[in-house]
Amino acid sequence: MNIQTTNRLTAAETALIESYMSQVGELPGDGSVAALRDRLLDDLKKSGLPTRRVESWHYTDLKTLLRSVPTSSPAPTATQVDALIDGAHVLPVLQGQAQAAIVVEGVDVTAFSASLTDGTAAAELMALDKDDAIGKINGSFARDGYRLAIPAGISVETPIELQAVHGAGQVHARFPVSVGAGARATVIERHRSATGEAAFISSISEIVLEDRADMVWVILQEQGAEDTHLGQIRVRLGAESKLKLFVVNAGGKLVRQELRINVEGEGSELTLRGVNLLGQETHTDVTLVLGHNVPHTNSTEIIRNVVFDRAKGVFQGMIRVAPDAQKTDAKMACNTLLLTDDGEFSVKPELEIFADDVICGHGATVTDIDKNHLYYLRSRGIPENVARAMLVNAFVAEIVEELEDEKLVEALEGVISAWLEKHA
């Protein structure tokens, strides 16, 4: 492959192309995978990183915001950390490379690199559309990850933690998961920095829920203060399936988390909850594209944001209701605590409804801490800084408590409290 850089390319775009050229011969994959990687990278070169002129990237001008990309560092420079929940099945991915697979009873666990080597993963590496920059980047560079297959009727009682830990450099991982009919499981997708050095991370998870499957999926992003994190989760819901998706962003300097969800089976139910903790000069973008494509489906989405310092945040939520998707019930809300004059949070909720018998709605609020609540706590002898932290914690903990697993709730509340203590 012969890719020539031009003066039109930014430093980050040039670094991505040069990084690909330096390791293309080492990336796992058969001929079909290699050919697809070439096409994806060539397409990325021609289109460049998305700018605000691309509607879905309007609030996150990646071409401008991504000023540099560190060199690739495929050798492991990170070590496994303790599980978020004691006793969880931990599947570690260190510096983008899957380690020895842990046996999870009843679940087929394989390294994603095996699917690249034999070519079966070629179709999975394709970008979703022309503006799918994360898909293009990850498809070009992904080396490893884990593939999980949960057979029909299996109930996995112990949570599975996909633990992605990295040092400096570049990390590109993939996590395809299939959940058979009537199966149940909880998966924690955890991203964590092991050093203070800058890293560039892309990660894509693909979840397919067959009929009557029931899953809890938690994304916990705790990247370093200098890290760029580009995450994407692709979901397909079968008939009468249930997905509780919780997203917690508590790190990273430049973060884009995309949620691409398609409701394909009647009677299915989606519950999305998100917490964005933003401090210093971070930029965090959560973008949801939810398609209700069949009748009689439900979804609720609640995003809570806390903004300190000069941080900037974005939530874009698109709900599309297809012409045949009668009796859809979809509600979306985004609530923000803006605790500084220099912080920003942009909200763009959208509804595209092509059916006439639906219940759909969206709303957004931006506010500071209620002075009456603060006065109430201070009047009882609680110092102002402690009182403010209590109120902020309650604001975000309210939705975390919707999880039914007490250990998981306690663990996530601990992460949130630790972040607030550090930044508040």
Q: Which of 238, 265, 292 is the last residue of a domain?
A: 265
Q: In the predicted model, is pLDDT for residue 333 greater than 70?
A: yes
Q: How far apart are CA 59 and CA 258, in angstroms?
A: 13
Same domain, 98 and 224: yes
> Per-residue pLDDT for 423 more than 90?
no
Half-sphere exposure of 125 (CA within 13 A, CB side): 33
The answer to whether 243 and 207 have CB atoms below 8 angstroms apart is: yes
Please tell me whether residue 26 adopts helix, strand or coil conformation. coil
Residue 284 lies in a domain: no
Q: What is the pTM of this model?
A: 0.95
pLDDT value at residue 391? 87
The one-character DSSP state at 281 is T
**Do residues 251 and 379 share a domain?**
no
Same domain for 245 and 379, yes or no, is no
pLDDT of residue 383: 84
Residue pair 235/204 in contact (Cβ under 8 Å)? The answer is no
Number of domains observed in the structure of the chain: 2
213 & 95 share domain: yes
| Nearest in space to 226 (alpha carbons), one of 254, 194, 187 | 254
CB 151 within 8 A of CB 109: no
Could you identify the residue written with the tokens 């009796």?
327
SS3 for 214? strand
Give the contacts of 164 (CB within 8 A, at least 6 positions apart): 93, 96, 171, 173, 189, 190, 191, 192, 201, 203
SS3 25: coil
Residue 171 pLDDT > 80, yes or no?
yes
CA dist., res. 43 & res. 72, Å (int): 20
Q: Is the pLDDT of residue 363 over 60?
A: yes
Report how far residue 285's alpha carbon sits from residue 268's, in angstroms, rounded to the nearest whole number.
Answer: 27
> Quick check: 293 pLDDT over 80?
yes
Residues 257 and 377 reside in one and the same domain: no
* Within-domain flag for 242: yes
Tell me: do 257 and 395 sit in the same domain.
Answer: no
Mean pLDDT over 301-307 rounds to 97
178 found inside a domain: yes
- Average pLDDT of the chain to the nearest whole number: 93
Length of the chain: 424
Give the Å distances, CA to CA, from 339 to 111, 232, 313. Answer: 43, 28, 13
Residue 192 domain flag: yes
> Could you write out the three-class secondary structure of 82-126?
CCCCCCCEEEEEECCEECCCCCCCCCEEEEHHHHHHCCCCCHHHC
Does a structural domain hold residue 287? no
Which of residues 231, 265, 299 is at a domain's end?
A: 265
- Evaluate if residue 356 carries a pLDDT over 50: yes
Q: Which residue type occupies 184?
A: R
The pair of structure tokens assigned to 47 is 């289109």
Look at residue 110 and tell me if it is in a domain. Answer: yes
Strand locations in 293-419 (E): 298-307, 312-321, 329-338, 344-353, 359-367
Which domain, by its residues, includes 376? 372-424
Same-domain pairing of 128 and 251: yes
> Is 183 within a domain?
yes
Which tens digits make up the pLDDT trace of 199-214? 999 999 999 999 999 9
pLDDT value at residue 372: 82
Mean pLDDT of 337-353: 95
**Nearest-angstrom CA–CA distance, 270 and 282:** 29
- Which two tokens mark 417? 């409290």
Residue 300 has pLDDT above 80, yes or no: yes
At which of 207, 234, 265 does a domain end?
265
77 and 202 co-located in one domain:
yes
Cα separation, 419 vs 77, whole angstroms: 25
Token pair 């057979």 in the structure block, residue: 151
Residue 415 in this model has a pLDDT that exceeds 90: yes
6, pLDDT greater than 50: no
Question: Is 347 part of a structural domain of the chain?
Answer: no
Tokens 């293009």 — which residue? 136
Instruction: Read off the tokens for 302.
Output: 């609640």
- 90 pLDDT higher than 90: yes
Question: Which residues, 6+ apart, have CB-to-CB distance to 397 below 8 Å?
Answer: 413, 416
